A and B are shown apart, each in its own frame.
Chain A
Amino acid sequence: MLVVSSIDLKENLRVMKPSKFLASTIKEPTININNDYRYLKTGYYVSLHAEILGNMVIPSCEDIIDSSRTPILLLRAEKAKIPTLPFLVTDSVKKIIAELGLPVVLFAVNPFIHEGYKTAKNKSALYRAMKSLGMNYKFTVCAQPVKGELFSVKSFFGKCQINDEEVCGLAAKVYALFRIPVCKLHVQKVEGKAYLCALQPIDEQELSKSDLEVISREILLISQQGDHLSV
């Protein structure tokens, strides 16, 4: 099993740099580790190169694109019975208020903004958020109602360093479906139940020493099990 990583991992692992892998023709099951799998970025091209070579690869290009487009993430999650809240893809403030009410959380659906979200408790805040995330109403946004506590967790191979069974269970299910090894999940907890809101990249600075240890440990575990990629 080949590990291609843009991140300096701590353990004694056989790791290849993305630029070296992109210039190679190594045919081996591949794990692609990157803090940023965005479309058109190196993280994406590593998976693409592996797919062209015919390698089994985590994550796949399709999953990279789908998981970063919030409406598709939610649609596929809902189909796989992962808890999600109702959502709306629109550029209309009126529609959001009529169909979802307030408060709402908005995620960008445009080619430029890939991180963060905005919440709006009233109409004027909603207009401001739409203007900002829609880049002056040029693009749509993905709106979801805020019904409980909204927070973010880091997920490494579907595991979170958080003492909350509900959220950990959700992260495991999201990983089983989209197979994004390193990502941030935005989650809402409503009456004790966790709902998936979005999946986004992690900033390299946000990865602590212990995070790198967790990632390395997981890779080691996978390479020992060996059959992880074929599932």
Chain B
Amino acid sequence: MSKIACFVEKYNFSDPREEAALYNFKNAAEKAGHQFNFLFRENIAEIPKYNAVFIRATTDPLFTAYIVSKTAWELGLKVVDDPESIKICANKIHQYALFEKYNVPRIPTVFLSKDDLHHKQIKEIFDTLGKPAVIKAPYTSFSRYVEKAACETSFRDVTKRFFKKSDVLAIQKFTPTAFDWRVGVLNNDTLYVCKYMIPKGKWKHGAKLRGKPTVVWGRTVAVGKQKVPERLKEVALKACSVIGKGLYGVDLKEVDGDFVVVEVNDNPSIYAGYEDSKDKDIYQRIINYLSD
């Protein structure tokens, strides 16, 4: 029997679909004879009492989740997401540099340092990637901090905001598609596949309505993993192989009949009735991995 701590923050329970998924994990663990407790930030000191830690709160090296992950790792516990995966996935600069090094098919990307923001450089970027170009802050998640710019003025405006936090940004080729593929991967194996639809008239899965703070999300359509092209899974697994052996959500786009990686996320969203609707075993498989 394994004792599993699931690190969560209060917001993880604010969406009933996520809450249901969290209880699905708990039920799957208990059914297999394991102990599964939700661990909140006030009880971080209890980590040594457990055999494994499963993080569901948003991860970033600057968030409490990293403290939890690294503490568990240093104590020799099994941990998802592990600190190395957090370090690579929370920083898209790190991730794209690895993709470049290991030749992972990806959306054309260039890096821009704070000191290099000048007219000549911006012109060169537009010449290479075309207009508009997508500007991505390294700490992007849930479609936030990703904006497009079609002229130097808006390019400067967006980068100025993103440079406040990070001294390097990623600039990508604008590649509009009707949906992004999302491939869930655990320990170098495909866990689930779905399509994250892009809302009509928008270009990302979670998009703001003009002039309003509300975010509209595209639909999530689960696809049986046997029914998707082998090449899709192959590219997704290759991207994860340069990061680690944890749990990832790989975003890919289909371009000219092939697949390119948009990004790999650690701590992927798992909502009951969405990511799990074609692959009901994902809860059990993640619990088995944690308790192995």
Contacts and interface: CB of A to CB of B under 8 A. Distances in A.
A42 interface: yes
A72 B71 contact: yes
A69 B66 contact: yes
Interface in B135-167: 138-139, 165-167
A110 B66 CA distance: 11
Interface stretch (A86-94, A160-168, A223-231): A86-94
Contacts of A88: 45
Given A66-B70, A72-B71, A90 B168 contact: no
Contact of B93 (A18, A45, A65): A45
SS class, residues of chain A in contact with chain B:
helix
A140 B41 contact: yes
A71 interface: yes
A69 B74 contact: no
B138 A40 contact: yes
A213 interface: no
A48 B74 contact: no
B167 A45 contact: yes
SS class, residues of chain B in contact with chain A:
helix
A52 B97 contact: yes
B17 interface: no
Interface in A1-36: 18-19, 22-23
Interface residues of B, number: 34
Contact of A89 (B45, B74, B91, B94): B45
B41 A48 contact: no
A45 to B, nearest CB: 5
Given A19-B115, A22-B168, A110-B62, A89 B67 contact: yes
A194 interface: no
A75 interface: yes
Given A19-B116, A40-B139, A48-B94, A75 B64 contact: no
Nearest to B44: A89
Nearest to A99: B45
Contact of B71 (A18, A71, A95): A71
B97 A139 contact: no
A49 interface: yes
B67 A72 contact: yes
A19 B111 CA distance: 12
A139 B115 contact: no
B41 A40 contact: no
A71 B67 contact: yes
A79 interface: yes
Residue among A45, A48, A65, A71 facing the most chain B CB atoms (10 A cut-off):
A45
Contacts of B166: 40-41
B82 to A, nearest CB: 12
A16 B6 CA distance: 45
B42 interface: yes
A19 B113 contact: yes
Contacts of A61: 87, 94
A69 B111 CA distance: 27
B98 interface: yes
B64 A109 contact: yes
24 contacts: A18-B115, A19-B115, A19-B116, A22-B168, A40-B138, A40-B139, A42-B113, A45-B93, A48-B91, A52-B97, A52-B98, A61-B87, A62-B87, A69-B67, A72-B67, A72-B71, A72-B74, A75-B71, A88-B45, A89-B45, A89-B64, A90-B44, A110-B62, A111-B63
Interface of B: 41-42, 44-45, 60-64, 66-67, 70-71, 74, 83-84, 87, 91, 93-94, 97-98, 101, 111, 113-116, 138-139, 165-168
